[in-house]
A and B are shown apart, each in its own frame.
Chain A
Amino acid sequence: GQNIDQPTEMTATEGAIVQINCTYQTSGFNGLFWYQQHAGEAPTFLSYNVLDGLEEKGRFSSFLSRSKGYSYLLLKELQMKDSASYLCAPHNTDKLIFGTGTRLQVFP
């Protein structure tokens, strides 16, 4: 079967670093996407990992371990605008499978 697990909610302080973990089980794994979704808006693409390791893109980095079925999204120098839901989405040969997302609240 296919299963995705990520924390439901997280809180952090402005300027801090936060790591959002995602574990997954899926057949025919091709890669893993991370999307950001602000309340009332559509998801927007953050990153895509195919190979093991860390991909850095500005304040956001994403890590993948294919053998462990594990990924994380690292957000540095948090800003208030980073308050949003973060969706982990493994991609198998058929489709993207989205987790229920992690709602991150950033406080001043």
Chain B
Amino acid sequence: KAGVTQTPRYLIKTRGQQVTLSCSPISGHRSVSWYQQTPGQGLQFLFEYFSETQRNKGNFPGRFSGRQFSNSRSEMNVSTLELGDSALYLCASSLVPGNEQFFGPGTRLTVL
């Protein structure tokens, strides 16, 4: 069974631009969570989607948004990028919320 995939793996953007990251969960998994990881802050929860609905949201500004499609694939979008948005963005899928989460390899975003 294929694991969680994320595209792109690496991305370089400039301040003010917007970016869309994609995540394909493990087949059969319906819950997708997104995290931001930085050296100083660790893994910070962004949001969780289940059955195309945002179930939970972390303490991030409205510039961070996401969605989930009927096939459980998910995207997250960051608008008006700031230097501080440079981080590893990890997606994790689980069968349903609360189950063991399987992480994708992440997208490394660099904002210049």
Binding site for B on A (CB under 8 A): 30-31, 33, 35, 41-45, 48, 87, 89, 91, 94-101
Contact = CB atoms under 8 A, between A and B. Distances in A.
B71 interface: no
B107 to A, nearest CB: 11
Contact of B45 (A31, A41, A98): A98
23 contacts: A31-B98, A35-B103, A41-B105, A42-B105, A42-B106, A43-B43, A44-B103, A45-B100, A45-B102, A87-B43, A91-B98, A94-B55, A95-B33, A95-B45, A95-B48, A95-B58, A96-B101, A97-B45, A98-B43, A98-B44, A98-B45, A100-B42, A101-B43
Nearest to B104: A42
Contacts of A91: 98
